[in-house]
Structure 1
Amino acid sequence: MKPTNRNSPSLFAIVAAMLFALMALAVSAQQSTPPPSPHADVLSIGGSVTEIVAALGQQHRLKARDTTSSYPVEVTNLPDVGYMRSLSPEGVLSVDPSLILSEEGAGPPEALDVIRAADVPFVEVPDALTADGILRKIKVIGAALGVPERAEALVAEVETALAAALADAERPAHEKARVMFVLSTQGGKINASGTGTAADALIRMAGGVNAVTEYEGYKQITDEAVGLAAPDVILMMDRGGDHGAADDKLFEMPSIKLTPAAGTRSVIRMDGLLMLGFGPRTAEAVRRLNDALYAKGT
């Protein structure tokens, strides 16, 4: 009879150890990769709307978003229903939301008519180009999400930050830089912001003067009009293509070449959503633009 090795582990002990190890690995995996939130039910349309949802601590409620919603960066992992101004009812309703929060200006109108007719609560968030407007947006979204107390706390925080940024940006009229916001340079033509736009509002909040005031909205303007605007600084979004021509190409354009901005090669590029979103980060946008306009800290 073969002697038994008392120091050798039994088959039962080996199996038990293996099961224990597998259980430990499973627990570890669950801890490092939390399951999707069972409360994800909201479709957010509009970059600033999505930012406010996240700032209210309700990011876990987001089920889908539109293309303009790019902050916080984690939301870009959510299903994308398309650009907010060219939505399709099929794309929006395919994500099966329980609540739609939409920034004012979404469309087209006929698509919104179909979406509104569906049995889904639809809340339109008013556009904003002022500090008070931003605070109103926060309250509307907080009420829609059922977190009015959190909204009031965020309102107080944002209101304080905005008041401080606006106060710091104030300058005498004769010291203010003339700023032209260039939306695109498609086809060698300048599409610039007039009055009544987010770009116009931010320029003024940051202590600058909009160099283009002859019209409202965004419009392609002539080379002569650019020369008459005589901007000290060109402001653009920090992306390539027609929306962000490189410095050398920009300052060689005939319409820009003879402006004061070209003489000093003064161009400021900022994140589009930060600059034009008018949401919880607008105080940061005001400070960044003001610092860039007047070279603070350099």
Structure 2
Amino acid sequence: MKIIKDSGPKQAGIRSLFGLIIVASLAITAAACADTNSTSNTTTSASEVDSSPEPVRPLVIAAADFELPIIVKSQSKLPVTVKSADDQTVTITDTSRIIVLNDAIAEIVISLGFLKNIIGRDATTTLEMLKPIPKVSSGHDVSAESVLALSPTLVIGDTRSGPPEAMQQLRGAGVPILLTPEVWQLSEIAPRITLLAEALGVAASGKKLLEETQAKIDQALNQATVNKINPRVAFLYVRGTASVFLLGGQGSGADEMIRAAGGIDVGTDLGLASFTPLTTEAIVKANPDIIIVLTLGLKSVGGIDGLLALPGIAQTPAAKTRAVIAVDDDLLFSFGPRTGSLIVNLAKSFDTLMTANK
């Protein structure tokens, strides 16, 4: 990841799905790293394909290609008292030692100028710049003992963070725990940035970050509207090593990004819930022009050939033209400072694939 300075109701299955995502992701990370050399000759970044008459498939949208804006940190005005998403009132007096419990929150904390204050992370936080930072969880399951060993002054997660017993133990030990709402829509980004900025005592920096983030999103939405490509796009969540094969629908988070980039989310179009088991009948009926998958998920099924060999997929227009986009796992669902740039790249990828398919 590059750094530049100065610069509705949820579906019931989302929480359980993302618990499964974390377990499966951790299980295949080592294998994915080993496969890097074998896949490097068959993938390319979305930004590299625009001038190629025959783009290499799949298109890859990599988190490392996106800039994370860093707002010059203003002086923290503490103490502050804020309302956590679990209805707890949290008073914060010190932000010198912060533990972050997912990637999306970490991005915002870093963008607000608090990178050097982060002293711990959960296993789902995979930002490159935080790799040296100690882990305090297995997936979303936080170890209270690991957290307490780091002597944090603030722990920030969202409503998926747990287990509840660990959160209760930490609060009982006097550690301020702030949980933000989960974010699956563009309209929910602003409240999360505002809450985190207030909690860190830098409301002015939060306002600036929000303005920059919203401007990029608005620009991206306008650009996607002009293109008017409107391909039918399916988001598939696959983890071959765990035998998990799901078709995204309304409330998956991917549906919001597909619509923002000018596509039609096929799961939503069919009236499907956030995640539905992938069947031959479902994917054939969905009839996608383009398929989006997560990068590690694609590797877990043996790359694009393994994906297109899954039941029913070979019968889709997307398979006939090998129109597959792989998005890095920590990017598609970040819903934060990089979201506007992601929308632009998705829209360009849609255009590249649909133009090549003509």
> Same fold per TM (> 0.5)?
yes
Alignment of 1:159-178 (within 5 A): 159-170=214-225, 175-178=229-232
Partner deviation per Cα, 1:93-119 (whole Å, 9 max, x = no partner): 332211011123222333333333331
What residue identity is the alignment partner of 2:113? G
Distance 1:257 1:188, change over 3 A: farther
Return the alpha-carbon distance in structure 1 between the equivalents of residues 244 and 154 of structure 2: 41
Does 1 or 2 have the higher relative contact order (CA < 8 Å, sep 6+)? 2
Return the alpha-carbon distance in structure 1 between the equivalents of residues 119 and 236 of structure 2: 34
Return the alpha-carbon distance in structure 2 between the equivalents of residues 92 and 267 of structure 1: 40
Distance 1:195 1:181, change over 3 A: same
Return the alpha-carbon distance in structure 2 between the equivalents of residues 140 and 210 of structure 1: 30
Return the alpha-carbon distance in structure 2 between the equivalents of residues 264 and 241 of structure 1: 17
Distance 1:127 1:243, change over 3 A: farther
Does 2:150 correspond to 1:100?
A: no
Q: Is the 8 A contact 2:197 2:203 kept in 1?
A: yes
TM-score, normalised to structure 1, is 0.79
Does 2:325 correspond to 1:279?
A: no
178-187 or 204-213: bigger deviation: 178-187
Does 2:241 correspond to 1:184?
A: no
1:85 to partner: Cα distance: 2.5
Count of equivalent residues: 259
Partner deviation per Cα, 1:106-161 (whole Å, 9 max, x = no partner): 22333333333331111112222333321211111111111111111111111111
For 1:191, what is the secondary structure of its paired residue? Answer: strand
For 1:295, what is the secondary structure of its paired residue? Answer: helix
Distance 1:244 1:62, change over 3 A: farther
Equivalent residue in structure 1 for 2:98, among 29, 37, 42? 42
Q: Is the 8 A contact 1:256 1:262 kept in 2?
A: yes
Question: Any unmatched runs of 5+ in structure 2?
Answer: 1-94
Could you say which residue in structure 1 is the equivalent of 2:192? 137
Return the alpha-carbon distance in structure 2 between the equivalents of residues 80 and 189 of structure 1: 26
Could you say which residue in structure 2 is the equivalent of 1:65? 121
Q: Is the 8 A contact 2:123 2:137 kept in 1?
A: yes
Does 2:218 correspond to 1:154?
A: no
Does 2:271 correspond to 1:218?
A: no
**TM-align CA RMSD:** 2.4
Return the alpha-carbon distance in structure 2 between the equivalents of residues 118 and 242 of structure 1: 42
Q: Is the 8 A contact 2:112 2:209 kept in 1?
A: yes
Distance 1:189 1:96, change over 3 A: closer
1:239 to partner: Cα distance: 2.0
Return the alpha-carbon distance in structure 2 between the equivalents of residues 188 and 62 of structure 1: 35
Return the alpha-carbon distance in structure 1 between the equivalents of residues 226 and 172 of structure 2: 50
Return the alpha-carbon distance in structure 2 between the equivalents of residues 181 and 109 of structure 1: 31
**Percent identity of equivalent pairs:** 30
Does 2:178 correspond to 1:123?
A: yes
1:83 to partner: Cα distance: 4.4
Does 2:320 correspond to 1:263?
A: yes
For 1:164, what is the secondary structure of its paired residue? Answer: helix
For 2:178, what is the secondary structure of its paired residue? Answer: strand
Q: Is the 8 A contact 2:122 2:138 kept in 1?
A: yes
188-197 or 99-108: bigger deviation: 188-197
Q: Is the 8 A contact 1:236 1:243 kept in 2?
A: no
Alignment of 1:229-244 (within 5 A): 229-239=286-296, 243=300
Distance 1:125 1:237, change over 3 A: same
1:67 to partner: Cα distance: 1.8
Return the alpha-carbon distance in structure 1 between the equivalents of residues 316 and 239 of structure 2: 16
For 2:141, what is the secondary structure of its paired residue? Answer: coil
For 2:237, what is the secondary structure of its paired residue? Answer: strand
Question: Any unmatched runs of 5+ in structure 1?
Answer: 1-38
Alignment of 1:20-35 (within 5 A): none
For 1:239, what is the secondary structure of its paired residue? Answer: helix
Does 2:171 correspond to 1:89?
A: no
Partner deviation per Cα, 1:229-273 (whole Å, 9 max, x = no partner): 111111011225665641111112222110111111100011122
1:170 to partner: Cα distance: 1.6
Return the alpha-carbon distance in structure 2 between the equivalents of residues 244 and 164 of structure 1: 35
Distance 1:89 1:218, change over 3 A: farther
Return the alpha-carbon distance in structure 1 between the equivalents of residues 259 and 171 of structure 2: 36
Distance 1:189 1:157, change over 3 A: closer
TM-score, normalised to structure 2, is 0.67
Q: Is the 8 A contact 1:42 1:63 kept in 2?
A: yes
